[in-house]
Amino acid sequence: MPRLVLLTEGFTGRSFELKAERSTVGRLEDNSFQIPAPSVSGHHCELLLQGNDVVVKDLDSTNGTFINGEQVTEAKLTVGQSIRFGSVEARLEASAPTGATGKKLLDKTAVLPQGVKMNELEQGTQKIKTFDGNSAFKKKSNKTTWIFVAIGAVIVIAIIVTLVVVFASDK
């Protein structure tokens, strides 16, 4: 049985063996082969097994189905050719190799990228150098702040005195 192997990053290594006479590919869960990518339509295309041939039939997908870079509505897909569902690339391969016992051989395990380990964080710490007095980023002096506070206080006192005088003269 032929199988589709996804090549696009994020889906690399996922494969689907074409066992049924008719298989559907799309973003929704009710498809035979679900590809949860935004560029793949809900029901993107059908894959029809006709003897040893695989026929691809686009189901009016939004972003199209392409075989070897050429957009198709219905076409034959042969082993080794690439097929693209929206922006997700795949390749049709011959059936998976089997071992001497008839069991499928396991594919290589993909090494997943790992984050930073706690001990690496501690090793990478270093004391941040403080700016010296000649830096353009030195702390501004508090003189300016005190000047604005003093001017504000004088204005507030002047307003209070004016209000007291105005109300005292009205009586």
Q: Does residue 90 surpass a pLDDT of 60?
A: yes
Handedness of CA 70, 86, 80, 93 (dihedral sign): negative
**How high does pLDDT run on average in the chain?**
82
pLDDT given for residue 102 in this prediction: 42
How is residue 10 written in tokens?
A: 């994020």
pLDDT given for residue 55 in this prediction: 95
Q: Which helix (H) or strand (E) holds 146?
A: helix 143-170
- The residue with tokens 């004016």 is 162
Higher pLDDT among residues 132 and 86, named by residue? 86
Torsional class of 60: left (φ above 0), alpha (ψ -120 to 50), beta (otherwise): left
pLDDT given for residue 57 in this prediction: 97
**13-32 mean pLDDT:** 92
Higher pLDDT among residues 23 and 94, named by residue? 23
**33-50 mean pLDDT:** 93
Q: For residue 40, what pLDDT band results from cuts at 50, 70 and 90?
A: very high
Q: For residue 99, what pLDDT band results from cuts at 50, 70 and 90?
A: very low
Higher pLDDT among residues 170 and 169, named by residue? 169
pLDDT digits (tens, 9 = 90+) for 124-169: 656 555 555 566 566 666 777 888 899 999 999 999 999 999 888 7
Higher pLDDT among residues 157 and 98, named by residue? 157
**Strands 82-85, 65-67: pairing kind:** antiparallel
